[in-house]
């Protein structure tokens, strides 16, 4: 019974996360988690923080985390905002910068949380098209929008917009806030963090969930002009001042410090991605050029929904979207080499073709 629901919520179609199965052992290639564990230094830092201090509230500002992120990106701590995963940071950005009288734009084929936030907060929006090859033409944002939001690299396509084009877009739309969602940027994209000092209308949002193997810890952050960060803090302190717990803060600081481990694991993922993409193309798949930790692939002779179901029967999970523009594709997270070999063997069996 929804009698007591707000009219706004009743009209929202909530985001649907990737399947988290509980009925057996699966190879999970459906939620873009990192196949490698967190840095040992992260695990040790969390263990060290799990002491009697848990009776106390954590630092509401996440000052040590902000300082660590700022140092990595050569920014100032006051240019950093931290929160409980990048999804929360995105939600707070929608609340902080857009009102029901505004209009914003984001790609129609992109992260499906964007229209959920816009609907929940009653923000009008245009879902602008991608090009036929799934690249983003920045000209689609030439509509006098209050806000422009896009993932770079994009999800679920995996395609990245060059930094030069990102900068040109930000510079051209000085009266609009441009939010660049960089959840996957560490797997081959170019971060707009380098532009933060030059453009007061740019907000860059990232996460520790993907490249730093901390999806279970929930750490996200935003980089931007101090005025933008102040607005995010105002929203946070009007909702929940303690968004990051003590263990998450300790783990995040350690993750930023262990750059060697970060470089090692992200490069392993990228190498496996390229090897898998080549193997899929040899099997007849169209594979879009990816700068993420996943591949977006379509087979000309087999429906993606059928391949999804056949893989699931073999205890391999990938992601299928029924959205008409992309219902021919599967999104495949890059796992370990062994997991990707299992995927390729299963697909060869399903397709009835020898694996090369």
CATH number for 326 = 3.90.1150.10
Does residue 87 lie in a domain region? yes
Structure pTM? 0.93
Contact present, 19 and 30 (Cβ < 8 Å): yes
Contact 73, 197 (CB under 8 A): no
Cα 305 from Cα 27, distance rounded (Å): 18
- Pair (255, 313) in one structural domain: no
Q: Among the three residues 259, 290, 319, which one is the final residue of a domain in this structure?
A: 259
Six-digit token pair at 144? 């006098």
In a domain, 356, yes or no: no
pLDDT in tens, 173-227: 999 999 999 999 999 999 999 999 999 999 999 999 999 999 999 999 999 999 9
pLDDT of res. 18: 67
> Which tens digits make up the pLDDT trace of 315-337?
999 999 999 999 999 999 999 99
| pLDDT, position 355 | 43
Shared domain for 197 and 78, answered yes or no, is yes
Residue range of the domain that includes 159: 40-259
Instruction: Measure the CA–CA gap between 59 and 261, rounded to whole angstroms.
Output: 27
Kindly state whether residues 162 and 29 are assigned to the same domain: no
Model confidence over 254-273: pLDDT tens digits?
999 999 999 999 999 999 99
**Within this chain, do residues 235 and 86 fall inside the same structural domain, yes or no?**
yes
Say if residue 93 is in the same domain as residue 190: yes
Count of domains observed in the chain? 2
pLDDT at 307: 97
Residues 277 and 236 in one domain: no
Residue 2 placed within a domain: no
**26 shares its domain with 175:** no
95 and 175 co-located in one domain: yes
**The domain boundary residue, chosen from 228, 259, 290:** 259
In a domain, 31, yes or no: yes
Is residue 299 assigned to a domain?
yes
Residues 6+ apart with CB under 8 A from 140: 105, 107, 128, 129
Could you tell me which residues come within 8 angstroms of residue 199 by beta carbon, excluding any fewer than 6 positions away?
A: 167, 170, 171, 178, 225
Q: What is the pLDDT of residue 9?
A: 75
In terms of domains, do 119 and 229 share one?
Answer: yes
Could you tell me the CATH number of the domain that includes residue 146?
3.40.640.10
Same domain, 246 and 236: yes
Please list the helix, strand and coil fractions of the chain in percent, rounded to the nearest 5, in that order.
Answer: 40, 15, 45
**End-of-domain residue from the set 232, 259, 286:** 259
State whether 57 and 88 are in the same domain: yes
| Residue 305 neighbours by CB under 8 Å, 6+ apart | 320, 322, 327
Segments of the chain scoring below 50 in pLDDT: 354-356
pLDDT at position 1 is 59
**Does 139 reside within a domain?**
yes
pLDDT at 5: 74
Q: Would you state the pLDDT for residue 15? A: 67
Q: What is the pLDDT of residue 11?
A: 72
- Indicate if 25 and 111 belong to the same structural domain: no
Q: Is residue 1 part of a domain?
A: no
Reading the block at residue 86, the tokens are 């990048």
Asked whether residue 301 is assigned to any structural domain, the reply reads yes
The pair of structure tokens assigned to 245 is 């717990």
């Amino acid at each position: 019974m929804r009698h007591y629901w707000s009219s706004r919520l009743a009209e929202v179609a909530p985001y649907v996360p990737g399947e988290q199965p509980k009925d057996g052992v699966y190879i999970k290639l459906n939620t873009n988690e990192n196949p490698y564990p967190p840095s040992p230094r992260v695990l040790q830092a969390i263990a060290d923080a799990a002491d009697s201090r848990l009776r106390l509230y954590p630092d509401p500002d996440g000052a040590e985390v902000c300082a660590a992120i700022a140092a990595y990106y050569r920014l100032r701590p006051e240019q950093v905002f931290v929160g409980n995963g990048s999804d929360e940071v995105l939600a707070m950005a929608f609340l902080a910068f857009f009102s029901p009288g505004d209009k914003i734009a984001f790609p129609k084929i992109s992260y499906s949380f964007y229209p959920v936030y816009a609907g929940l907060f009653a923000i009008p929006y245009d879902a602008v098209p991608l090009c036929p090859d799934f690249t983003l033409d920045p000209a689609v944002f030439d509509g006098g929008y209050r806000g422009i939001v896009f993932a770079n690299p994009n999800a679920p396509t995996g395609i990245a917009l060059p930094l030069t084009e990102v900068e040109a877009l930000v510079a051209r739309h000085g009266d609009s806030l441009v939010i660049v969602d960089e959840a996957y940027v560490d797997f081959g994209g170019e971060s707009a963090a380098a532009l933060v000092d030059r453009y007061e209308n740019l907000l860059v949002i990232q996460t520790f969930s993907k490249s730093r193997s901390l999806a279970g810890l929930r750490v996200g952050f935003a980089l931007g002009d101090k005025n933008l960060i102040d607005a995010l803090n105002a929203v946070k302190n009007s909702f929940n001042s303690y968004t990051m717990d003590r263990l998450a803060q300790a783990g995040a600081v350690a993750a930023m410090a262990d750059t060697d481990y970060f470089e090692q694991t992200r490069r392993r993922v990228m190498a496996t991605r390229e090897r898998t993409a080549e193997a899929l193309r040899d099997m007849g798949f169209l594979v879009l050029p990816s700068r993420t930790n996943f591949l977006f692939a379509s087979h000309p002779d087999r429906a993606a929904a059928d391949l999804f179901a056949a893989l699931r029967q073999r205890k391999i999970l990938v992601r299928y979207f029924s959205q008409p523009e992309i219902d021919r594709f599967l999104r495949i997270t890059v796992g370990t080499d062994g997991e990707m070999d299992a995927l390729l063997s299963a697909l060869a069996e399903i397709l009835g073709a020898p694996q090369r």
